[in-house]
Amino acid sequence: MPDPIFAHPRLARIYDTFDGPRDDLDAYLAIADELEARRIVDLGCGTGCLPLLLTATGREVIAVDPAGASLDVARAKPAADTVTWIDGSSSAIPADAAADLVFMTGNAAQAVLADDEWAALLRDVRDALGPGGFFVFESRRPERRAWEEWAVQTDPVRAEVPGVGLVEQRREVTAVDLPFVSFRHSYRFPAEDPADDDTELTSDSTLRFRSRDELTASLEAEGFIVHDIREAPDRLGREFVYLVRRT
The pLDDT, as a whole number, for residue 22 is: 83
The pLDDT, as a whole number, for residue 239 is: 94
Residue spans of alpha helices (H) in the chain:
4-7, 9-19, 25-34, 49-55, 68-75, 115-128, 146-152, 212-221
DSSP 8-state assignment for residue 138: E
108, 102, 75, 117: which is closest to 2 by C-alpha?
A: 108
Mean pLDDT score of the chain: 94
Dihedral angle, C-alpha 17, 20, 21, 22, nearest 10 °: -120
Q: Which residues contact 33 (CB under 8 A, 6 or more apart)?
A: none
- C-alpha span between 5 and 202 (Å, rounded): 8
197, 205, 191, 8: which is closest to 113 by C-alpha?
A: 205
Which segments of the chain have a pLDDT < 50?
A: none
The pLDDT, as a whole number, for residue 198 is: 62
Q: How far separated are the first and last CA of the chain, in Å rounded?
A: 31
The pLDDT, as a whole number, for residue 192 is: 65
> In CATH, what number does 4-140+210-246 get?
3.40.50.150
The pLDDT, as a whole number, for residue 154 is: 87
